[in-house]
């Protein structure tokens, strides 16, 4: 049994300690905004915030998340208002297919929380998520707009 705090709610889960956090979030808790992409922490579709840092949840065992706050895309908004990154994503019509976008948004939000005014180089360094549609220029512009938001 592990106790996880996801989006401020406590969940007692009867899962193996080595289960990837991704599967606990999606299959056990039922929050499906976090996506499975590659399963080897390469693509970033599964990005969540763990103790404030962007992590690839497919490679984090649930035992490593115990006692640390977890935020998924479902918990990023505050008091019914979208996070500035979410608002910028909508305003700029960033996604094409949209599959990777929850991970992209989570990575961008983590970047802005530690670097509120990132340079292009900061964005390039932090945004390592893969977008098969090639929406990178719109992603970068939305991050810049979220700084102003």
Would you write out the chain's pLDDT as a tens digit for each of its 149 residues? 999 999 999 999 999 999 999 999 999 999 999 999 999 999 999 999 999 999 999 999 999 999 999 999 999 999 999 999 999 999 999 999 999 999 999 999 999 999 999 999 999 999 999 999 999 999 999 999 998 65
Location of each CATH 3.10.20.30 domain in the chain = 2-74
**Token pair recorded at residue 69:** 């706050």
**Token pair recorded at residue 19:** 């289960």
State the alpha helices, DSSP H only, in 3-83.
Answer: 21-23
Location of each CATH 1.10.150.120 domain in the chain = 84-148
Of 56, 77, 110, 101, nearest to 7 (Cα)? 77
DSSP string computed for 68-83: SEEE-GGGSSBTTBPP
**Token pair recorded at residue 72:** 């998924």
Query: In this structure, which CATH number among 3.30.300.30, 1.10.150.120, 3.10.129.10, 1.10.760.10 belongs to the domain 84-148?
Result: 1.10.150.120
Domain 2-74 has CATH 1.10.3210.10: no
Give yes or no for a contact between 94 and 147, defined as CB atoms under 8 angstroms apart. Answer: no
Instruction: Give the pLDDT of residue 148.
Output: 67
pTM assigned to the model: 0.95
């Amino acid at each position: 049994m592990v106790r996880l705090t996801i989006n401020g709610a406590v969940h007692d889960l009867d899962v193996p300690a080595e289960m990837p956090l991704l599967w606990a979030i999606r299959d056990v808790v039922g929050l499906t905004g976090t996506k499975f992409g590659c399963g080897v922490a390469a693509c970033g579709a599964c990005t969540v915030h763990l103790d404030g840092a962007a992590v690839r949840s497919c490679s984090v065992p649930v035992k490593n998340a115990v006692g640390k706050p977890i935020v998924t895309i479902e918990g990023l908004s505050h008091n019914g208002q979208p996070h500035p990154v979410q608002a910028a994503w909508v305003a700029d019509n960033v996604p094409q297919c949209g599959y990777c976008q929850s991970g992209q948004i989570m990575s961008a939000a983590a970047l802005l929380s530690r670097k509120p005014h990132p340079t292009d180089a900061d964005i390039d360094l932090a945004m390592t998520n893969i977008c098969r549609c090639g929406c990178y220029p719109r992603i970068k512009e939305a991050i810049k707009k979220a700084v102003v938001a």
